[in-house]
C-alpha cells in the first residue's frame, strides 16, 4: 500500500478500500453486550431521552480513537508501550493495574452477552454459553492470521447492523419525535447512572489501547510524508466506522424505547427483553435479537482479548507476538476472573450495567496519558497534537470526569 500512496498525490478510492478495517474492529468492540444492557435500560426507562449521550460519545470516539491511531503511527508503538517507556514506574504500574481491571469488566460484559445469546438460540445454560464464547474466541484468535480475523469481525458487524436495521423497520418508530433527542441534552438524578453507563459502553479504555496497536497492521513505511498521506485514510476509516457505530447504538435505544417504554413494559434482563420483544414486535424481532447478540458477544470478545493481550504484553515489556506462549496466555487470562463473576453472581443484568460504569470510571486514566503523550513533541515529533485538537480532547476528558463526580454524588446520596 505504501507504493500506492507514493504514486497518488491526491485521494485514491482503491487505497481507501484497502485501508478500511482497523476502525471497524474498534466499532465491534463498543457494540458489545454492555451496550445492549445500557441501551435497553436507557430506552425502556427513559424513552428517547438519552440518545444525545450516544451522539456525544460518538463525537468523543472520533477524536479520541483518531489520536490513539495517530500515536501508533507516529511512534511505531502502542499506547501501552508508550506509557511504559515515558512514565515513571509507579505511575505505569498504577495505570496498568486500572486498565487490567477495565479489561476484566469488559470481558464480563462480552461473555455474559455471548452466553445469553447462545442460551436464547440453543437453549443451553448461560454459563455454558459463556464458556462456549471463550472457547470460540480463543480458537479464532490463535488459529487465524490478523487480516483473516479482521474480515471475520467486520462480517460480524455487518450481521449486527443488518439485524437492527430490520428491527427498526419492524417496530416503526416515530421519527419526528426522535430527532431532537439526538442533540438536546437531558439528564437527571434518575438517569445519570444509565447515562454514565452508556458513555462507558461507547468510549471504552481497551479500545483506545487496541487502536494504537492494530493500526500497525497497515504498512506505514518510515518517511513522514508516507505517514501523513496514510493518516488521511485512517481519519476516513475512523469516521466511517464510528458513524456506523452511532447508527447501531442509536437503533438499540430507539427499538427499546418504541417497544418497551411506550408499552410501559419494564425490562430487567436481556432474556426478558428477548421474551418481551416477541409478543410486542413479532417472533422475527426476537430471533434477530438473539442472533445479533451472539455475534456481538463473540466479535467484541475477540477484540477485547486482542486488546488485553496488547495491554499485558505492552506494560510488561513482552513481545507482541501472537505466536508466543506468553501472548496466547494473555489472550484469555482476564476471562478467568470474568467467568468467576458470571458463575457466582446471579444478577447478570446488573453486572452488565456495573461493568460499563467501571469502564467509565477508568476512562480518565486512559485519556490523560494519551493527551500527555500526543502533546509531547519528543514523543510525537511533527505529529504532535495541535492546540485545537488538544483543547477539544481536554474538554472531552473534563466532561467524562465531571460525569464521574456527579455519578459518585448521586450514588452516595441515594439518587443513582
Query: Which whole number is the average pLDDT over 284-313?
Result: 86
Residue 30 reports pLDDT greater than 70: yes
> With bands split at pLDDT 50, 70 and 90, how would you rate the model's confidence at 414?
low
Q: What is the extent of the structural domain holding 353?
A: 2-8+17-412
Residues whose CB falls within 8 Å of the CB of residue 304, separated by 6 or more in sequence, listed in order: 29, 32, 103, 106, 107, 110, 206
Query: Which whole number is the average pLDDT over 378-403?
Result: 89
Residue 50 reports pLDDT greater than 90: yes
d(CA 384, CA 73): 11
Query: Which whole number is the average pLDDT over 27-37?
Result: 81
User: What's the pLDDT score for residue 221?
Assistant: 57
State how many domains the chain has.
Answer: 1
Q: From the CB of residue 365, how many other CB atoms can be counted at a distance below 10 Å?
A: 15
Residue 268 reports pLDDT greater than 80: no
Residue 299 reports pLDDT greater than 60: yes
Which CATH number do you get for residue 402? 1.20.1740.10
H-helix segments, 144-191: 146-171, 175-178
Q: Which three cell numbers stand for residue 47?
A: 424513552
User: What's the pLDDT score for residue 3?
Assistant: 46
- Which DSSP symbol is given to 364? H
Q: Which three cell numbers stand for residue 63?
A: 477524536
Query: Which whole number is the average pLDDT over 183-196?
Result: 83
Return contacts of 145-149, CB within 8 angstroms, 24+ apart. 146/214, 146/217, 146/322, 147/21, 147/217, 149/302, 149/306
d(CA 65, CA 284): 35
Residue 7 reports pLDDT greater than 50: no
Cα-atom radius of gyration of the chain, to the nearest Å? 20
User: What's the pLDDT score for residue 89?
Assistant: 94
Amino acid at each position: 500500500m505504501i507504493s500506492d500512496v507514493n504514486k497518488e498525490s491526491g485521494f485514491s478510492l482503491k487505497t481507501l478500500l484497502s485501508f478500511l478495517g482497523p476502525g471497524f474492529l474498534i466499532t465491534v468492540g463498543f457494540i458489545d453486550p454492555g451496550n445492549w444492557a445500557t441501551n435497553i435500560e436507557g430506552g425502556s426507562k427513559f424513552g428517547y431521552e438519552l440518545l444525545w449521550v450516544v451522539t456525544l460519545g460518538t463525537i468523543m470516539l472520533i477524536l479520541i480513537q483518531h489520536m490513539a491511531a495517530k500515536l501508533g503511527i507516529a511512534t511505531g508503538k502502542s499506547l501501552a508501550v508508550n506509557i511504559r517507556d515515558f512514565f515513571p514506574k509507579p505511575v505505569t504500574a498504577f495505570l496498568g493495574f486500572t486498565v487490567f481491571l477495565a479489561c476484566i469488566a469488559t470481558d464480563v460484559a462480552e461473555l455474559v452477552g455471548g452466553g445469553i445469546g447462545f442460551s436464547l438460540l440453543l437453549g443451553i445454560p448461560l454459563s455454558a454459553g459463556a464458556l462456549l464464547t471463550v472457547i470460540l474466541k480463543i480458537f479464532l484468535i490463535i488459529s487465524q492470521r490478523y487480516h483473516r480475523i479482521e474480515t471475520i469481525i467486520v462480517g460480524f458487524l455487518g450481521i449486527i447492523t443488518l439485524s437492527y436495521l430490520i428491527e427498526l423497520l419492524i417496530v416503526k418508530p416515530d421519527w419526528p419525535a426522535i430527532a431532537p433527542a439526538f442533540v438536546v441534552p437531558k439528564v437527571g438524578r434518575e438517569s445519570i447512572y444509565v447515562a454514565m453507563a452508556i458513555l462507558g459502553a461507547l468510549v471504552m479504555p481497551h479500545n483506545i489501547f487496541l487502536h494504537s496497536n492494530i493500526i500497525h497492521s497497515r504498512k506505514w513505511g518510515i518517511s513522514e510524508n508516507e505517514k501523513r498521506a496514510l493518516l488521511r485514510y485512517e481519519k476516513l476509516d475512523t469516521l466511517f466506522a464510528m458513524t456506523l457505530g452511532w447508527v447501531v447504538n442509536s437503533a438499540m435505544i430507539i427499538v427499546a424505547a418504541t417497544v418497551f417504554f411506550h408499552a410501559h413494559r419494564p425490562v430487567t434482563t436481556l432474556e426478558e427483553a428477548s421474551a418481551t420483544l416477541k409478543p410486542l414486535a413479532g417472533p422475527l424481532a426476537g430471533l434477530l435479537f438473539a442472533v445479533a447478540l451472539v455475534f456481538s458477544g463473540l466479535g467484541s470478545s475477540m477484540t477485547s482479548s486482542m486488546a488485553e493481550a496488547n495491554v499485558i504484553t505492552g506494560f510488561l515489556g513482552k513481545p507482541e507476538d501472537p505466536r508466543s506462549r506468553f501472548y496466547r496466555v494473555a489472550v484469555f487470562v482476564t476471562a478467568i476472573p470474568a467467568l468467576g463473576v458470571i458463575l457466582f453472581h446471579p444478577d447478570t443484568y446488573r453486572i452488565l450495567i456495573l461493568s460499563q460504569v467501571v469502564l467509565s470510571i477508568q476512562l480518565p486514566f486512559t485519556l490523560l496519558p494519551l493527551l500527555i503523550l500526543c502533546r509531547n513533541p519528543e514523543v510525537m515529533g511533527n505529529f504532535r497534537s495541535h492546540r485545537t485538537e488538544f483543547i477539544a480532547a481536554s474538554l472531552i476528558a473534563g466532561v467524562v470526569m465531571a460525569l464521574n463526580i456527579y455519578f459518585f454524588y448521586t450514588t452516595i446520596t441515594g439518587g443513582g
